[in-house]
Amino acid sequence: AQTVTQSQPEMSVQEAETVTLSCTYDTSESDYYLFWYKQPPSRQMILVIRQEAYKQQNATENRFSVNFQKAAKSFSLKISDSQLGDAAMYFCAFGEGNFNKFYFGSGTKLNVKP
Amino acid sequence: SQTIHQWPATLVQPVGSPLSLECTVEGTSNPNLYWYRQAAGRGLQLLFYSVGIGQISSEVPQNLSASRPQDRQFILSSKKLLLSDSGFYLCAWSVHPLEDSYEQYFGPGTRLTVT
């Protein structure tokens, strides 16, 4: 079975600074997808960024970027120029090879200080 | 555009009572459908997923069951609720895995409190 580990239960960052959230996963598959989801206090899950395992280039979406290290099975999220609206729970997720199931990490609560 | 609905938004039920949570998706056909449970301050636990009508896979043995009577309808049920069934229930859908927009889209969730 696939596992997703987020070792940072909670992190804090000053507004306008940069923060990196860590995620590691365990799988024997070679073809898969990785995701970062954001869950604000409203509890609506919002996709932040997606990475295809077959792509070596790291995905970026505006202030959000990932550092995908396939051999190390690591998938960290970097948030640049942090904003107050970035405060939320962040979940790392793995979409398995036959793409029928997703596995989520336990989440990292991000606090943004003004 | 696609939308996903869940109801009710909140529910308070006594122990031993039945449960029925409904999820419907609009604007797509033959989606994969998922039920997750999220305990307070925790991650998402996959409960059931479905790749087609009548096709249900269970991830965790439990007091709950799921059904998919129509292509875009997914129902989570229980005959007798337990206190441990309390939590936040999320329904999600995804497109066929070979499509480029592969990701999961989540509904607004149902907060269930069993008393």
SS3 B56: strand
pLDDT (0 to 100) of residue B98: 59
Among candidates B46, B90, B97 on the partner chain, residue whose Cβ is nearest the Cβ of A45: B90
pLDDT (0 to 100) of residue B99: 63
Range of the domain at B26: 3-114
Where chain A has pLDDT below 70, the residues are 1, 97-99
Q: Please report, for residues A55, B38, B59, B72, B95, the alpha-carbon distance to residue B34 in angstroms, rounded to integers and kept in the order given.
A: 27, 13, 11, 11, 12
Euclidean distance between CA atoms A61 and A38, whole angstroms:
14
Is residue B19 within 8 A of residue B67, CB to CB? The reply is no
Range of the domain at A39: 3-113
Mean pLDDT (10-residue bins), chain B, 115 residues = 91 97 93 90 87 88 90 96 94 76 86 96
Provide the CB-side half-sphere exposure for B97 (13 A, CA): 13
B46 touches chain A (CB under 8 A): yes
pLDDT (0 to 100) of residue B95: 79
A1 touches chain B (CB under 8 A): no
DSSP strands (E only) in A1-114? 3-5, 10-14, 19-21, 24-26, 33-39, 46-52, 60-61, 64-69, 74-79, 88-95, 102-104, 108-113
Report the CATH number that the domain containing residue A67 is assigned in CATH.
2.60.40.10
B49, A101: Cβ pair inside 8 Å? Answer: yes
pLDDT (0 to 100) of residue B42: 76
Among candidates B44, B57, B88 on the partner chain, residue whose Cβ is nearest the Cβ of A91: B44
Q: In sequence order, what are the residues at sequence separation of 6 or more whose Cβ sits closer than 8 angstroms to the Cβ of residue B80?
A: B15, B16, B17, B18, B63
How many structural domains comprise chain A? 1
Report the CATH number that the domain containing residue B36 is assigned in CATH.
2.60.40.10
pLDDT (0 to 100) of residue A97: 62
B92, A45: Cβ pair inside 8 Å? Answer: yes
A106 contact residues in B (CB cutoff 8 A): 42-43
Give which of B38, B58, B90 to mutate to test A binding, by max A Cβ within 10 Å. Answer: B38
For residue B41, the tally of other CB atoms under 10 A from its CB is 11
How many structural domains comprise chain B? 1
